[in-house]
């Protein structure tokens, strides 16, 4: 995991490198995305699902749904035959 300092003080959080809606819980969203080696569409699904309760609510869920739709529509081209 990246070293962001102690992360306990809201004043220490940089809204660019450590926005509050991505740092809920013990695992930061970007750390999980990078550790899993997700592609951009997969990463966006995770991002929007993880932040929906803390940022844009239903809009974030609709964004995640759109990325899933793109992945399903292009599945064979992007990911192979699914076997």
**Closest of 71, 2, 73 to residue 35, by C-alpha:** 2
pLDDT value for 4: 46
Max CA separation in the chain (angstroms): 49
Half-sphere exposure of 66 (CA within 13 A, CB side): 9
DSSP letters of 42-62? HHHHHHHHHHTTTTTTHHHHH
pLDDT in tens, 1-53: 455 454 444 445 676 666 666 666 678 889 999 999 999 999 999 999 999 99
pLDDT value for 28: 85
pLDDT value for 81: 82
């Amino acid at each position: 995991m990246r070293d962001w300092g102690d992360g306990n003080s809201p004043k220490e959080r940089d809204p660019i490198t450590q926005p509050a809606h991505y740092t809920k819980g013990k695992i930061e969203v970007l750390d999980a995305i990078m550790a899993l080696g997700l592609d951009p569409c997969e990463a966006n699904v995770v991002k929007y699902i993880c932040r929906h309760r803390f940022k844009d609510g239903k809009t974030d869920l609709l964004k995640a749904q759109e990325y899933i739709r793109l992945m399903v529509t292009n599945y064979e081209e992007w990911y192979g035959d699914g076997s």
